[in-house]
């Protein structure tokens, strides 16, 4: 934990099939309002309580991209990416399985399913099965996400 | 534009192969800082100017999920989804083609490539090719996204 | 809804005596706190719960200018102004009829009462009776507001 | 400045014809972006730099209600209203004279033009000429605003 | 309260042993979430409700530096520092005595315990005992803080 | 890095005399504005550009408590405290050595100078010399801070 050394995981450090998890964060009404504002997505399921009362979910639900955003922050806080991640490459098969509401606490479980070096030396791509779980252990979002990491110097 | 009537587009209104576009919004340093804060993603490419100066992009880049978030807001502002969208179903083949920086102005072009009714009456899924374009007309992100819409009553 | 064409209403499109309405948004404690912060208006009726408990309203009330701000956002989301509004000209007879609290859902009803072309070609002023309504259909704010719009090309 | 005593001005303290001024605050791009987000007003003059470049003002302009909001905050910081203001009653003849842009520094000059007691004892209404000035001493907004104040106990 | 004159207290105005107090503000969940975001401090006692339920405090607690930040804002709103404070010099013996939670209303009591002129003319340092109190009159934080103030011209 | 295990450092892990450092973050005008808003501290050195131009520092300076807040966030992102810190106990000898402005990039260097177990089993206090450094390696803030940590189970 010395100064200026990357603290994150290098390409070589990721083990295919092992599950890495993050700290947790509770999604609150404040987050839903703040995300509606930042994104400009004020669709009724997120900000119109009268509309929500008439829906099966009964109250505002977190925007899918809000859940994704916070999942990214949790990965940052896990320290996994500190100084070693180069870029987010893409996301596939992102599916939303259950609504996330005020008071739900999420964490992220990331399992490398594929690793490959790129044509450019010193970097490689890790493909993860990435599940976002709530406080009941239910998967609320799932996706495959690909990040490029530095190789160990 | 009368009160309480949905103003958005119903399932039947979407024409496969036609491209629908949104208003534009400029991504600023304020958005990058605010998104780092909201998401908790303070990785160096977004908030450490000294690190960024040593990278090919030279200055902070917008988080991929920030660009996605604002693209969702622009769809909301287009009025396309007002009172007619039911849910975001998922995203596939999300790819990031170019970095987005302070001062880049984005808009979204959405082209339905597939429509299908669901087993539940009164709703259908529209799959879009969704391109996020900058002020030079370059595609910065692309993805296939699936939304469920109400059918015309 | 093709690219780059204004989607809003031109000067000619507004019909005197017709009422145009917007989507709705629920005002939350988060909005009240965020507006106190952004504006710097931390007067006791908005942020001091102990003070509020001793007042007839019993809990924090939304700042009048917060309700006005969100009313403007709802007009934006209605699509009415997209690419066609030139400027806000002024407001007259703005009155606050009832307090707005956490959980109140507002919408805006705008009725043109006067239209006039200006000396400069291609633009005109529309004067609206603008009522902000809560979820019980009560008028919480009313005003006359004047906007300049582009004429149809 | 003892605890729990109102520090603001009572109805009796306001002198008709005297001008009271506030501290100053510079309006920044951050304020414009944050207000667009909080209000939901993402109209092109505020957030689309490509659009703004083609307008006479050349760059994003502060929303009128943003300038009003910050003017209210400056009155709060002046201490004028601390514990003595009861309610904002209304605004008349609000006019926008000049655009406010990133880097403009505003202050508020308030001149009571009318005072009257209300039928309910212990309170009175003060009507102000309220000018918002920029760093060049130019009036950017003007209005008549009416506040209800407590009478001196 | 005339224009451009400092409204705050000069070095000479502070009386050693006298207690100066501020307006009050209620700390809300929105403040806790917003501060976690702004600071990047997402430690479990502030944002993980499941973790908090298992702790003696049972629910998220305000970050110590959030309480300090709002205490500074309350001093600003008291008008004490307007145009007369030059700089914050330092803090000693800052202690946190009780947790602050959603709904707690705080105010600040500042008692000068020492005043000294500096070698540079026209300014002096005031050292305060600074107590932050909740709505039950309990001291939640205490510290000695030193500010430099202008002398009366 | 397995699920649910604390990832931070236990009381026993801290080595007296060793310096632990954090990731870096650039302080921007957005942070200064956002902190003025969140805290309510709108004193002239932070938000009045006309005032600042006449001071030695020439432009807005970051609030001292903003720098402290972000330093706390950087410790969180270092992973040092994840699941192991129990409470912030206090701060002594906090001194501000140089102003922090838009574009300054800070990091935190923490050196334990004292460790002691408490009368309650399973926890201990670590006292740190805590220096906040800018991109030139200059110490901008220094303090002694005391945190309570869990002992290794």
In a domain, A3, yes or no: no
In a domain, A21, yes or no: yes
In a domain, A73, yes or no: yes
pLDDT (0 to 100) of residue C1: 32
> Which chain A residues are Cβ-neighbours of B38 within 8 angstroms?
31, 34-35, 38, 69
In a domain, F63, yes or no: yes
CA–CA separation, A99 and A101 (whole Å): 6
% of chain A residues with pLDDT over 90: 88
Is residue C88 within 8 angstroms of chain D, CB to CB?
Answer: yes
Is residue B122 within 8 angstroms of chain D, CB to CB?
Answer: no
> Which chain C residues are Cβ-neighbours of B128 within 8 angstroms?
none
Assess whether pLDDT exceeds 80 at residue E3. no
User: How many domains does one find in chain F?
Assistant: 1
Assess whether pLDDT exceeds 80 at residue D42. yes
Is residue D31 within 8 angstroms of chain F, CB to CB?
Answer: yes
Residue spans of beta strands (DSSP E) within chain D: 20-21, 25-26, 85-96, 105-117, 123-133, 139-150
Under DSSP, is residue A36 helix (H, G, I), strand (E, B) or coil?
A: helix
The number of CA neighbours under 13 Å toward the Cβ of A125 is: 13
> Which chain A residues are Cβ-neighbours of D40 within 8 angstroms?
36-37, 40, 42
In a domain, E36, yes or no: yes
| B44–A73 C-beta distance less than 8 A | no
Contact B129, B110 (CB under 8 A): yes
The number of CA neighbours under 13 Å toward the Cβ of D135 is: 15
| F25–B30 C-beta distance less than 8 A | no
Assess whether pLDDT exceeds 90 at residue E2. no
Tokens for D105? 């520094």
In a domain, D135, yes or no: yes
F67-79: average pLDDT: 94
Tokens for F72? 């706390």
CA D2, distance to chain mean position in Å, is 27
In a domain, D6, yes or no: no
Assess whether pLDDT exceeds 90 at residue F39. yes
> Which chain D residues are Cβ-neighbours of A43 within 8 angstroms?
none
> Which chain E residues are Cβ-neighbours of A29 within 8 angstroms?
29
> Which chain B residues are Cβ-neighbours of D41 within 8 angstroms?
none
Q: Which chains touch C (3 or more CB pairs under 8 A)?
A: A, B, D, E, F
CA–CA separation, E104 and E136 (whole Å): 9
D121-129: average pLDDT: 97
Task: Please tell me the pTM assigned to this model.
Answer: 0.96
| A81–B40 C-beta distance less than 8 A | no
pLDDT (0 to 100) of residue E5: 63
CA–CA separation, A103 and A134 (whole Å): 10
Under DSSP, is residue C57 helix (H, G, I), strand (E, B) or coil?
A: coil
> Which residue of chain E comes nearest to F4, CA vs CA?
E51
For chain F, the straight-line distance linking the first and the last C-alpha, in angstroms and rounded, comes to 17
| C25–A50 C-beta distance less than 8 A | no
Considering all CA atoms of chain A, what is the largest pairwise distance in Å, rounded to the nearest integer? 57
Tokens for E143? 């510290």
CA B131, distance to chain mean position in Å, is 8
Contact E68, E141 (CB under 8 A): yes
Is residue C138 within 8 angstroms of chain E, CB to CB?
Answer: no
- pLDDT under 70 in chain C at which residues? 1-5
Closest CA to B23 of B83, B84, B72: B72
CA–CA separation, F73 and A76 (whole Å): 12
% of chain F residues with pLDDT over 90: 88
> Which residue of chain C comes nearest to A46, CA vs CA?
C25
Q: How do C20-21 and C105-117 pair as beta strands?
A: antiparallel
In a domain, E74, yes or no: yes
User: How would you class A9 by CB atoms within 10 Å of its CB: exposed for 0-12, middle for 13-18, buried for 19 or more?
Assistant: buried
Phi-psi domain of C76 (left: phi exceeds 0; alpha: psi -120 through 50; beta: other):
alpha
pLDDT-derived band at F112 (thresholds 50, 70, 90) equals very high
pLDDT (0 to 100) of residue F8: 87
Is residue F102 within 8 angstroms of chain B, CB to CB?
Answer: no
CA–CA separation, A69 and A106 (whole Å): 12
| E63–F39 C-beta distance less than 8 A | no
Scanning the structure block, which residue is given the tokens 């709103």? E77
User: How would you class B59 by CB atoms within 10 Å of its CB: exposed for 0-12, middle for 13-18, buried for 19 or more?
Assistant: middle
pLDDT-derived band at A15 (thresholds 50, 70, 90) equals very high
Is residue C44 within 8 angstroms of chain F, CB to CB?
Answer: no
Q: Which chains touch F (3 or more CB pairs under 8 A)?
A: A, B, C, D, E
Contact residues for C120 (Cβ-Cβ < 8 A; gap 6+): none
Closest CA to F47 of B29, D77, C142: D77
Q: What is the mean pLDDT of chain D?
A: 94
CA distances for F112 relative to B48, E11, F18, F82, angstroms: 26, 38, 7, 18
pLDDT (0 to 100) of residue B5: 63
| A40–D38 C-beta distance less than 8 A | no
User: How would you class F4 by CB atoms within 10 Å of its CB: exposed for 0-12, middle for 13-18, buried for 19 or more?
Assistant: exposed
Nearest Cβ partner of B103 from D37, D49, D51?
D49
Residue spans of beta strands (DSSP E) within D19-64: 20-21, 25-26
Assess whether pLDDT exceeds 50 at residue F99. yes
Contact C80, C145 (CB under 8 A): no
Is residue B95 within 8 angstroms of chain A, CB to CB?
Answer: yes
Assess whether pLDDT exceeds 90 at residue B109. yes
% of chain A residues with pLDDT over 70: 96
Any idea what the CATH number is for the domain that residue F31 is in?
A: 3.10.129.10
Closest CA to E81 of B114, B28, F44, A16: F44
Residue E52 lies in domain? 11-150
CA-only gyration radius of chain B, Å: 17
| D42–A37 C-beta distance less than 8 A | no
Closest CA to C39 of D72, F75, E30, F112: D72
Is residue F47 within 8 angstroms of chain E, CB to CB?
Answer: no
Under DSSP, is residue B48 helix (H, G, I), strand (E, B) or coil?
A: coil
> Which chain A residues are Cβ-neighbours of B77 within 8 angstroms?
40
Closest CA to F132 of F9, F3, F30, F21: F21
Q: Which residue has the higher pLDDT, C3 or A114?
A: A114
Assess whether pLDDT exceeds 70 at residue A22. yes
For chain A, the straight-line distance linking the first and the last C-alpha, in angstroms and rounded, comes to 17
Contact C71, C134 (CB under 8 A): no
Long-range Cβ contacts of B53-58 (<8 Å, 24+ apart): B57/B99, B57/B101
Assess whether pLDDT exceeds 90 at residue A99. yes
Closest CA to D136 of D93, D110, D101, D112: D101
Q: Which of B73, B120, B130, B143 has the highest number of chain A CBs within 10 A, making it the mutation to test binding with A?
A: B73
pLDDT-derived band at A1 (thresholds 50, 70, 90) equals very low
CB atoms within 10 A of CB B150: 18
Task: Note the pLDDT tens digit of each residue in D64-95.
Answer: 999 999 999 999 998 888 889 999 999 999 99
Q: How do A105-117 and A123-133 pair as beta strands?
A: antiparallel
Beta-bridge partners for A142:
A95, A131
Beta-bridge partners for B125:
B116, B148
Number of residues that make up chain D: 153
Nearest Cβ partner of D3 from E3, E21, E82?
E21
Is residue D29 within 8 angstroms of chain B, CB to CB?
Answer: yes
CA–CA separation, E76 and D138 (whole Å): 27
Contact residues for D138 (Cβ-Cβ < 8 A; gap 6+): D97, D98
Task: Report residue F93: phi and psi, to 5°.
Answer: 55, 40
| F2–A79 C-beta distance less than 8 A | no
């Amino acid at each position: 934990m010395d100064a200026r050394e990357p603290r994150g995981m290098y390409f070589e450090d990721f083990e295919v099939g092992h599950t890495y998890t993050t700290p947790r964060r509770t999604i609150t009404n404040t987050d839903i309002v703040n995300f509606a504002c930042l994104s400009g997505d004020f669709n009724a399921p997120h900000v119109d309580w009268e509309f929500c009362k008439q829906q099966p979910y009964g109250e505002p639900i977190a925007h899918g991209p809000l859940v994704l955003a916070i999942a990214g922050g949790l990965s940052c806080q896990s320290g996994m990416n500190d100084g070693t991640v180069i870029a987010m490459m893409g996301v596939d098969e992102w599916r939303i399985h259950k609504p996330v509401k005020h008071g739900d606490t999420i964490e992220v479980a990331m399992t490398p399913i594929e690793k490959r070096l790129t044509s450019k030396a010193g970097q490689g791509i890790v493909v993860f099965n990435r599940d976002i779980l709530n406080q009941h252990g239910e998967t609320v979002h799932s996706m495959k996400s690909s990040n490029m990491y530095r190789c160990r110097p």
